[in-house]
Amino acid sequence: MCGGPAIVARSKNRVVVTYGEGMFDAVEIQKKCSVDLSHPVMKSEVLARIVRPRQRFGYDLIVYVGIARYLRRKQREEICEELFRKRAIKLSAGSVSNLCDRFLLYLEALHLVRSPHLKLAMQEHGYPLHIDATSEHGKGGLFVCMDGFRNWMLCAGKIESESEVHLKPFIERTIELFGDPIAIVRDLGPPGKNAVAFLAQRNIPDFVCHYHFLGVIGEKIFDSSYALLRKLLRQSHVRSDLRELLKEMKRYRGKVLNKGRFGSGHIREDLRALVHWVIEGENKKDAVYPFSLPHLKFFQRCQAAMQRADIWVPAPRCQAEKRALHHLEGLIRLLEKDKCLQDAVGLLEKGWYAFSQARNTLRLTNAELPRGDKRYQYIDIPSLQAQRLKEIKNQVELYLKDLRKYVGNENFSKPTTPNGIILKYFNKYMANLFGHPVILDEDGTVIAVVQRTNNVDEHFFGNEKQQLRRRVGRAHLGRDLEDQPAQAALAANLRHPDYVRILCGSLEHLHNAFAELDEHSLCDATPLVRSNRDTALQNRVCTLLKNLDKTDVLDEFRPDFT
């Protein structure tokens, strides 16, 4: 600054732990100007690139732990064991949690710093904004805003409830950082619609997800009848009795004649297979409700069981087989005699036929559902997707024309028939179902189409919950989702090479990008929140309990003057 000579101001010793060097003593010689003492003290730039001031763990160790936790789905104990085996670094599980928090804090700060560059890359073709929220049994609400073309996580936050008040700030933050989207894709809920109303006023297309659209229709048609069927089947105990029957028939396996509940004889394997089929079906994974009705399928298999028995277990039959089949027939008759159950099944079968017609018209296959088998998903060829959407729209218009004739003069405000319910929802949301923007290149070739479902978000939620179960080792994630900071959603972006290239070049240089962040950038990041509700109250309870404990101690030693 002034050209004067620098002299030693002080030296500081600090124990530093990095992934590259392990644990070592860092001796920093700080210097000052000998001419003008008002000049700032000069500190080591090399040390500043290795570890943050007044901290012990280096940036590369923070990155290693964060990637192991959120990309490689390692548990805390596994990370501790791995670091000790590879680098002889001893960490506690609590230290791993603290390093994970620092990783998420730095990652969000870097995401915000690089947002102008990310925005520039997204402006080439624009981006469709996919919004959705998730929770586990009402706990751990997480709201996300994603780029539907690139599957990038743009913004994520904890919410107390899925209401406009809680959703709109995150949408506004996304728009502030990345600009207006070319379209919005959301579910049918009024909170989402109201939260993006200000974008709809700017003539940005607002679409509802076809999967959520059909899902709401199915729930409206099936909910009451399906709940009744489930209740009646549970009360009948037929399913548990069939399992007991299958267990009893296991005694009749093999060539040796056995004597049990059904007398002596040999029961063929095909009869046991018949009972197993009635209980489990084809043993294939069912689609999500209401796109599959497992209890209705079970009842229908019971109805078809005796006809299958004539084919699978033809005569002649031994005494044990006759008695086992007679017992099976008796269990099935219990269901057939229940009039309430028969009525519920009749309503469900009628509704299923109407629902299947609507679903076939929209051509929504099982592979396009959130838990659909990826092996059977359509190859993403934009030109074919654009043509397919046009064909679906034309098919829906013809379907609605016939449906209006069939429904006739039914009350549209409160329809009672399945077809009336379907027609009501199509009339209400038809404007939000079609018209998805198509992106063309200079030659007029279709290179991208806005997706008609919100599977970008749904697949993200499914993958993240699966990975969270692996990290915490628990099946029920209600408490874990509440405790996990929302910034953990941004870690999924590190799986996308195009995002990583803009963020830091490569994951090998991520620790250098963290080192370049200044205090102002870190202050812009959202504070880490481990619970999305009642945190303040819980902290107050802890304070009151501590004060109460102190009072009890004082009372114990206070003399009694009575």
pLDDT at 429: 95
Tokens (6 digits) for 72: 């490689």
pLDDT at 199: 95
Yes or no: say if 249 and 279 are a contact pair by the CB < 8 Å rule. Answer: no
453 phi, psi to nearest 5 deg: -115, 165
* For residue 552, pLDDT beyond 70: no
- Mean pLDDT score, 399-420: 86
pLDDT at 167: 94
* For residue 251, pLDDT beyond 70: yes
- Residue 152's H or E segment, with its range, is strand 152-158
Q: How far is CA 174 from CA 111, 119, 295, 546, in A?
A: 12, 11, 43, 42
198 by DSSP, 3-state: which?
A: helix
- Residue 173's H or E segment, with its range, is helix 164-178
Nearest to 270 by CA among 336, 300, 315, 237: 315
* For residue 215, pLDDT beyond 70: yes
148 by DSSP, 3-state: which?
A: coil
- Residue 158's H or E segment, with its range, is strand 152-158
Bridge-based pairing of strands 206-208 and 139-147 is: unpaired
Give the whole-angstrom CA distance, residue 430 versus residue 396: 9
Give the whole-angstrom CA distance, residue 500 versus residue 498: 6
* For residue 535, pLDDT beyond 70: no
24-66 pLDDT, tens digit per residue, is 999 988 888 888 777 888 888 899 899 998 899 999 999 999 9
Q: Which residue has the higher pLDDT, 1 or 427?
A: 427
* For residue 411, pLDDT beyond 90: no
pLDDT at 532: 52
The mean-pLDDT minimum among 53-67, 257-271, 303-317 falls in 257-271
Q: Which of 151-155, 162-166, 410-414 has the highest mean pLDDT?
A: 151-155
pLDDT at 377: 62
Yes or no: say if 11 and 30 are a contact pair by the CB < 8 Å rule. Answer: yes
Confidence of residue 554 (pLDDT cuts 50, 70, 90): very low
pLDDT at 360: 96
* For residue 402, pLDDT beyond 70: yes
Q: Which residue has the higher pLDDT, 534 or 20?
A: 20
Confidence of residue 557 (pLDDT cuts 50, 70, 90): very low
The length of the chain in residues reads 562
Give the whole-angstrom CA distance, residue 412 versus residue 422: 10
DSSP symbols for 455-511: HHHHHHHHHHHHHHHHHH--S--HHHHHHS-GGGGGGGGGG-HHHHHHHTSSGGGHH
Backbone Cα Rg of the chain: 32
pLDDT at 273: 93
Q: Which residue has the higher pLDDT, 220 or 34?
A: 220
Q: Scan for tokens 């974008």, then name that residue.
A: 199
Give the whole-angstrom CA distance, residue 271 versus residue 320: 11
pLDDT at 519: 83
Nearest to 50 by CA among 94, 82, 16: 16
Confidence of residue 537 (pLDDT cuts 50, 70, 90): low
* For residue 539, pLDDT beyond 80: no
pLDDT at 347: 95
* For residue 555, pLDDT beyond 70: no
H-type alpha helices, 313-447: 319-337, 339-362, 382-407, 418-429
- Mean pLDDT score, 481-499: 92
- Residue 140's H or E segment, with its range, is strand 139-147
Yes or no: say if 184 and 197 are a contact pair by the CB < 8 Å rule. Answer: no
pLDDT exceeding 70 applies to what percent of the chain?
92
Q: Scan for tokens 């405790």, then name that residue.
A: 483
Q: Which residue has the higher pLDDT, 555 or 96?
A: 96
* For residue 561, pLDDT beyond 80: no
- Mean pLDDT score, 270-284: 91
What is the 8-class DSSP label of residue 268?
A: -
- Residue 244's H or E segment, with its range, is helix 238-249
Nearest 5°: CA angle at 338, between 335 and 344? Answer: 90
**In a 10 Å sphere around its CB, with 0-12 CB exposed, 13-18 middle and 19+ buried, how is residue 114 labelled?**
middle
* For residue 283, pLDDT beyond 70: yes
* For residue 406, pLDDT beyond 70: yes
442-481 pLDDT, tens digit per residue, is 888 999 999 999 989 988 988 888 888 888 888 777 777 7
327-353 pLDDT, tens digit per residue, is 999 999 999 899 999 999 999 999 999
